[in-house]
Structure 1
Amino acid sequence: MSIIEAIIIAIVEGLTEFIPVSSTGHMIIASSLMGINKDEFTKLFEVCIQLGAILAVVVLYWKKFFNFSKPSFYFKLLLGVLPALILGYLLGDQIDALLEKPEVVGATLFLGGIVLLFVDKWFKNPTIDTDEKMDYFKAIRIGLFQCLALIPGVSRSAATIIGGMQQKLTRHAAAEFSFFLAVPTMAAATGYKLLKHHELLTSSAENIKLLLIGNVVAFVVAMLAIKFFIGALQKYGFKMWGYYRIIVGIIILAAFFMGYKLEA
């Protein structure tokens, strides 16, 4: 992977991690178009640049994350992240196997897009406009929705936002809690991958340089993407993202059935 390729993948990650379109699907398209060899380091890179993206959440919402006078916030995050961490650990090999199948990513993107077309109609009367009004049981239920994102292409953001709206949160509150929940979720996933494949870093200064560049780029782009998404969600709802997912899903499926090699 070259520096330019690393920057492009990081831009894709930063743009798509927090909006309900699946960063996995977009990185498959980007890496395939560039002809990147999906070796073990490339797969590690695509996971570890999430650190830059989640740092953007911490910086944008620093008052929330460093307000230690309200420990209930941290308990809700812990309860929300536990289901995905447990299931992800137990089904790690099966999840990795699905990541090797672009047709699965394309199908889940397409089906998820159809779901997003109707989300705004399904959850019309929210009663909770901030996570502070949300109890611990709702945090757990949103965490269960997050487990759906273990299926490549579902989109962690989409699953948790829909889960929040199903628990009577407003679109804005559900989106923000989705951002918050991303921090421990992706930090744990990245930490696990780094521990498991630490030799890929210690064996090459070039790999470390690429990871540093990727995380910086993902951080800057994610900062902009989060601000844009909140505004667009408030104004337009989910339908625009639904149509977009359907188009991307069709592109991936069409490429797969036409014999074009997409490497997940």
Structure 2
Amino acid sequence: MIEILKAVILGIVQGITEWLPVSSTGHMILVDEFVKLNFSDTFISTFLVVIQFGSILAVLLVFFNKLNPFAPSKSDKEKKQTLNLWAKVIVAVIPSGVVGLLFEEEIDRLFFNPTTVAIALIVYGIIMIWIESRNKKPIATDFSEVSFPLALKIGLFQCLALIPGTSRSGSTIIGATLLGTSRSIAAEFSFFLAIPTMLGASLLKLVKTGFSFSGFEWAVLATGSIVAFLVSVVVIKFLMDYVKKHDFKVFGYYRIVLGIIVLMYFYFL
């Protein structure tokens, strides 16, 4: 039963930190010091990836109408716009998909350590604060104004998320706002990019492990995914409401504080 409770805790952390630009890895590396699953390393690594599937379902639920090109309520023009949005999402995920498939294991081997995570948290926190301090007027406040070249450039920024501590949502939000999108477009596009990115990562991980888990391990995996889904729904709605009235500076400051905590915990405590 204690393992189920741990799965709940990890699902909560995943659901919160996956969508806020604060680095899920930075939090997981700390949480793992206190909440360790008593399973094989193979299952644990799979669990931490596959619970993201619950977060993906949350995006599909919250933005179902916007992402559904076959919604009866949409006009032919709106359906074409939705298909166009999906095309931009696919274009944007190509860079990180290619780089991830070719170099992800090598990147994890070289950079998955507390020092890299802490530095990435702090550096990108400073960048986030700097971007928000410019007060530059966005050039894209609607997805129709996000061109395919712009989508590709945002996708290139997502490649930075392969370095632990950067944050997938953080890198895409930073990239999108730096390239001239509004905060709401940056946040939504980050959510949409997560669908093929995280779905692909989850399925690839399951295929590699051969789905060879015990009944209890599947129960733990399902618990973490369901909790991640429920928490993600709340967090996504919160962030979309938040960015309508506030900037991302608070997340930048939070990242800096978290980075310092990671450094202190692993090297001074």
1:175-227 Cα deviation digits (max 9, x unpaired): 111111111111111111111112xx424111111111111100000000111
Cα distance in structure 1, aligned partners of 2:20 and 2:225: 18
1:84-121 Cα deviation digits (max 9, x unpaired): 00000110221231464122111111111111111212
Please list, as runs of the form range in 1=range in 2, the aligned pairs for 1:31-42 lying within 5 A after superposition: 31-36=32-37, 39-42=41-44
**8 Å Cα contact 1:76/1:139 also seen in 2:** yes
Which among 171, 179, 184 is matched to residue 159 of structure 1? Answer: 171
Cα distance in structure 2, aligned partners of 1:5 and 1:149: 26
- TM-score norm. by structure 1 comes to 0.92
Question: Root-mean-square deviation (CA), in Å?
Answer: 1.6
**8 Å Cα contact 2:6/2:36 also seen in 1:** no
How much has 1:35 moved relative to structure 2?
Answer: 4.2
Task: Give the direction of change, closer, same or farther, for the CA distance of 1:66–1:230 in structure 2 (3 Å limit).
Answer: same
| Structure 2 residue identity aligned to 1:243 | Y
Aligned to 1:131: 143
Cα distance in structure 2, aligned partners of 1:58 and 1:22: 21
How much has 1:249 moved relative to structure 2?
Answer: 0.6
Aligned to 2:45: 43
Task: Give the direction of change, closer, same or farther, for the CA distance of 1:176–1:84 in structure 2 (3 Å limit).
Answer: same
| Structure 1: stretches of 5+ with no match in the other structure | none
Cα distance in structure 1, aligned partners of 2:144 and 2:53: 26
**8 Å Cα contact 1:98/1:104 also seen in 2:** no
SS in 2 for 1:234: coil
Q: Could you list the structure 1 runs, at least 4 aligned residues long, displaced by more than 3 angstroms after superposition.
A: 35-38
**8 Å Cα contact 1:13/1:50 also seen in 2:** yes
SS in 1 for 2:32: helix
Verify: 1:16 aligned to 2:17, yes or no.
Answer: yes
| Structure 1 residue identity aligned to 2:119 | A
Which among 228, 251, 268 is matched to residue 241 of structure 1? Answer: 251
Cα distance in structure 2, aligned partners of 1:135 and 1:73: 10
Task: State which drifts further: 135-144 or 32-41.
Answer: 32-41
Verify: 1:89 aligned to 2:94, yes or no.
Answer: no
Provide the identity percentage. 42
Task: Give the direction of change, closer, same or farther, for the CA distance of 1:193–1:220 in structure 2 (3 Å limit).
Answer: same
Verify: 1:102 aligned to 2:104, yes or no.
Answer: no
Cα distance in structure 1, aligned partners of 2:170 and 2:36: 28
SS in 1 for 2:171: helix
Aligned to 1:176: 188
| Structure 2 residue identity aligned to 1:29 | L
Task: Give the direction of change, closer, same or farther, for the CA distance of 1:2–1:145 in structure 2 (3 Å limit).
Answer: same
Aligned to 1:112: 124
- TM-score norm. by structure 2 comes to 0.91
Cα distance in structure 1, aligned partners of 2:176 and 2:24: 20
Aligned to 1:29: 30
Cα distance in structure 2, aligned partners of 1:44 and 1:72: 33
**8 Å Cα contact 1:123/1:168 also seen in 2:** no
Cα distance in structure 2, aligned partners of 1:17 and 1:113: 16
Which among 88, 92, 115 is matched to residue 76 of structure 1? Answer: 88
**8 Å Cα contact 1:119/1:238 also seen in 2:** no
Cα distance in structure 1, aligned partners of 2:110 and 2:15: 23
